[in-house]
Structure 1
Amino acid sequence: MKKLRLGILISGRGSNLNALIGACQRNNFPAGIAIVISNKSDAEGLENAKKARIKTKVIQHKDYPDRETFDREIHNCLMSENVDLICLAGFMRLLSKWFVEKWPNKIINIHPSLLPSFKGLNATSQAIKSGVKVSGCTVHFVVPEMDEGPIIIQAAVPVLNNDNTETLSARILAAEHKCYPKAVEIIARKQISFSNQKANKQNNYTSRNSLFNPPID
């Protein structure tokens, strides 16, 4: 089976990049990282990629007159590396409609909430303020509208009474590090199909158990 070639876009430390690097180093993982691109030259994730002997490139948005011109440069770079799937891993730029439509169902993103709840920035703070008892993370396909697109995988994380943004974010991030590689694996193994603008996975779950918070005896 040919391994899926990933292009990872980052802007900072790239902790989800590290999770993907670790997954791709497993012999049986069906994907490999072709290139890591950052819009910031000082992004910590670039050094992590270099240590793993992964090709990196800096394409700074400030060097381009508008968003689409910047996106075209990223597009050309990804095409030159024969990328099959783009993973946004803390990439803090909105992609243009032109770019997204060039890569239909080939861009995925991870968001720190159970979408469609708490879209946009500060999702964990939104969850804390709302008083929800369960939050989590979502990996989804990218469409022109922000934090929309078919959902691939989600993880539920309980919100504790003494949680603040930092403590809840840390637990959600740990879940992200498991979800993102799994989402890539699902796509690479062609275990997903589309209907009515939804992504449907084969063998969707193995347990019907529910998460209760607070717990029910």
Structure 2
Amino acid sequence: MINLAIFASGSGSNFDAIVHAIEKGELDANVSLLVCDRVGAPVIEKAQRYEVDTVVFTPKVYNGKAAYEEALLADCRDREIDYIILAGYMRLIGPTLLKPYENRIINIHPSLLPAFPGKDAIGQAVSKQVKITGVTVHFIDDGMDTGPIIDQEAVRIEDTDTEEDVKRKIQAVEHELYPKVIQSLLVKEDAK
């Protein structure tokens, strides 16, 4: 069985979607670990409900990014993690994790990259009054939302849509697309 570690910082809606896909038999993997960098983030409670091992790291207590990522890497190795899945994890990944998990760290972003990278992609799309935005699943590299694109899906923005409407549309697509893309990667891995 493929072991996943999900890194998240917030509400955990994509965490939920991935676990539900596993429960429904649509994703052949095991969520072995939740890594969270915010004490009290709602995703922690979700992980507890699903009985997923959880570690909460406060980056400020470490002597730099490399030391913080060494601690994350140790937990991932202890649990034999095959893939790291970023689900609203609001930190750039450094070489300490990138090298051992090359092409095995996956992120989901609420825009059609390369448009609107970084924070508040939905707000950026709404303020620019674009008609099409979307969702991108990509591998992580050392840039911000610059890694190779795995898949994308478009979302239309109507003139009457508020930012909250767009967010709901984006999340609905994310919750379907992310588990499917992860499963397709695992199938390709199995075929090797």
TM-score category, normalised to shorter length: over 0.9
| Residue 123 (structure 1) aligned with residue 121 (structure 2) | yes
Letter in 1 for 2:123: S
Q: 1:175 aligns with which of 173, 176, 179?
A: 173
Per-residue deviation, 1:137: 0.6
Do the aligned partners of 1:34 and 1:83 also contact (CA within 8 Å) in 2? yes
For residues 11 and 183 of structure 1, the distance between their equivalents in structure 2, rounded to whole angstroms, comes to 21
Task: Report the TM-score when normalising by structure 1.
Answer: 0.83
- The answer for the alignment partner of 1:114 in structure 2 is 112
Cα distance between partner residues in 2 of 1:164 and 1:150:
30
Q: Which has the larger radius of gyration?
A: 1
Render the CA deviation track for 1:126-173: whole Å, top value 9, x for unaligned: 111222211111110000011011111211110100122221111101
In the aligned structure 2, how far is the partner of 1:77 from the partner of 1:96?
A: 16
Paired positions, count: 191
Corresponding position of 2:134: 136
Could you tell me the percent identity over the aligned residues? 35
Residue 32 of structure 1: how far off its partner (Å): 1.2
Structure 2 regions of 5+ residues with no counterpart?
none
Does residue 6 of the first structure (1) align with residue 17 of the second (2)?
Answer: no
> How far, CA to CA, are the matches of 1:78 and 1:67 in structure 2?
16
1:54 aligns with 2:24: no
2-structure distance, mates of 1:130, 1:176: 22
Provide structure 1 residue ranges, at least 5 long, that are not aligned to the other structure: 194-217
State how far apart, in whole Å, the 2-side matches of 1:151 and 1:165 are: 25
Structure-2-length-normalised TM-score: 0.94
Paired amino acid for 1:163: D
2:147 is aligned to: 149
